[in-house]
Amino acid sequence: MKSLLKAVWYPRALLFAAIFVVACASGLAKDAALHYLKPGKPEAATLLAPPPVPGSAEAAADLAEVRAVYHAASSNDVAAAYAEKSFSVFNFATAAGPFLVAASLPKTAAFFAKVQSDAATVTDVGKDFFKRPRPYTTDPSLSNGKLEKSFSYPSGHSTESMVLALVLADLLPNQREAILAQARNLGWHRVQIARHYPTDIFAGRTLALAIVKQLKKSDAFQEDFAAVQAELALAQK
């Protein structure tokens, strides 16, 4: 009997140990990737309400909105959405001003790359926690272009673009409304190509506010922010 228990228990114990090690390694890797944020601050899993339950009336309404927005999207909006697959703070030059050019602003480029990386890390942890399928996974008729393999909630584009916009707006207060409007459009474009549900986009904006709040608690962030502020002021002269 003891030998039988050992034969059953040992493999399971080894499996659980392996899972624990992998989980810890994954968590440490993500924490190591952070530049200004502290691990778990903020945490999407505790900050955000869960997405609609699959099969619920709320989920059906969310999907119906995706279908309606997707089929109503103009060719210009679709083209913009595809072009924004990868983006950075320099996408906001149309709202901020023509001086916002990466080649001329090395401190700005390095700073916002770190900010966006931190936002992406927080968002990815949230996606892996909620594990919401993309709209085109639920409704294959919405499939178009090269499809993402990651989960849907919260939207990375919505979160990252709004984080970039909120920080950039603090640096350029006179262009604040135009910058924030561009971030909202960038997030909404993802619904127009059926990459996200509207609730994914709204969750991303909520998460972005929390991320920026935590960023501002970092001394390193504040130091780099001041350096970027001086660089941008010089670029506008």
Confidence class of residue 6 from pLDDT cuts 50, 70 and 90? very low
Q: Lowest mean pLDDT: which of 28-37, 132-141, 178-187?
A: 28-37
The owner of tokens 């099969």 is 55
Q: How confident is the model at residue 20, as a pLDDT?
A: 35
Report the mean per-residue pLDDT for the chain.
90
Q: How confident is the model at residue 66, as a pLDDT?
A: 98
pLDDT digits (tens, 9 = 90+) for 174-190: 999 999 999 999 999 99
Tokens of residue 125, six digits: 């942890």
The owner of tokens 């509207």 is 198
The owner of tokens 């942890």 is 125
pLDDT digits (tens, 9 = 90+) for 53-84: 999 999 999 999 999 999 999 999 999 999 99
- Could you tell me if 183 and 204 are in contact, meaning their C-beta atoms sit under 8 angstroms apart? no
Confidence class of residue 87 from pLDDT cuts 50, 70 and 90? very high
Is the pLDDT reported for residue 235 higher than 60? yes
- Could you tell me if 148 and 134 are in contact, meaning their C-beta atoms sit under 8 angstroms apart? yes
Mean pLDDT of 5-13: 41
Is the pLDDT reported for residue 15 higher than 80? no
Q: What share of the chain in percent tops pLDDT 70? A: 86
Q: Please give the model's pTM, rounded to 2 decimal places.
A: 0.87
Mean pLDDT of 82-99: 97
Q: How confident is the model at residue 237, as a pLDDT?
A: 86
217 phi/psi in degrees, rounded to 5: -85, -10
pLDDT digits (tens, 9 = 90+) for 137-155: 999 999 999 999 999 999 9
Segment (H or E) for 146: none
Q: Which CATH class is domain 40-235?
A: mainly alpha
Reduced to 3 DSSP states, what percent helix, strand and coil does the chain have, rounded to the nearest 5?
Answer: 75, 0, 25
